[in-house]
Structure 1
Amino acid sequence: MPDKKIGVAVFWAVFISVVCLMNFNEVPQVNKINIPHLDKMVHFVLYSIFAILCLWSINSNQQFLKKAVGVFLFCVAFGILIECLQDYFTTTRSAELLDVLANTFGVVCGILLTALFKNKNKTSPL
Structure 2
Amino acid sequence: MPKYLLFIIALFWTGVVAYFCLVESNKLPTIQIPNVDKCIHTFFHFVFTLVWFLFLRKQLQHNDVIKPLLYSFLLSLFFGIGIEIMQQLCTTTRLGDFLDFIANAIGAILALFTVVLCNRFNVLNSILKK
The answer to whether residue 108 in structure 2 is matched with residue 107 in structure 1 is yes
Residue equivalent to 1:41: 39
Moved over 3 A (4+): none
For 1:10, the aligned partner's letter is: L
CA distance in 2, matches of 1:94, 1:69: 28
Give CA-to-partner distance per residue, 1:29-54, whole Å, 9 cap, x none. Answer: x23x2101000000000000011101
Q: Work out the CA distance in 2 between the residues paired with 1:76 and 1:110.
A: 12
Q: CA deviation at 1:115?
A: 1.8
Give SS of 1:76's match.
Answer: helix
Structure 1 distance, partners of 2:42, 2:17, is 11
Q: How many residues align?
A: 123
Cα distance in 2 for residues equivalent to 1:61 and 1:96: 36
CA contact (8 A) 2:25 2:94 kept: no
User: Which one is further off, 81-90 or 113-122?
Assistant: 113-122
Residue 51 of structure 2 corresponds to residue 50 of structure 1: no
Aligned residue for 2:62, secondary structure, equals coil
CA distance 1:80–1:38, shift in 2 (3 Å): same
Residue of structure 1 in register with 2:84 after alignment: 83
Tell me the TM-score normalised to structure 2 length: 0.86
Q: Percent same amino acid at aligned positions?
A: 28
Q: Can you give the 5+ residue segments of structure 2 that lack an aligned partner in the other structure?
A: none
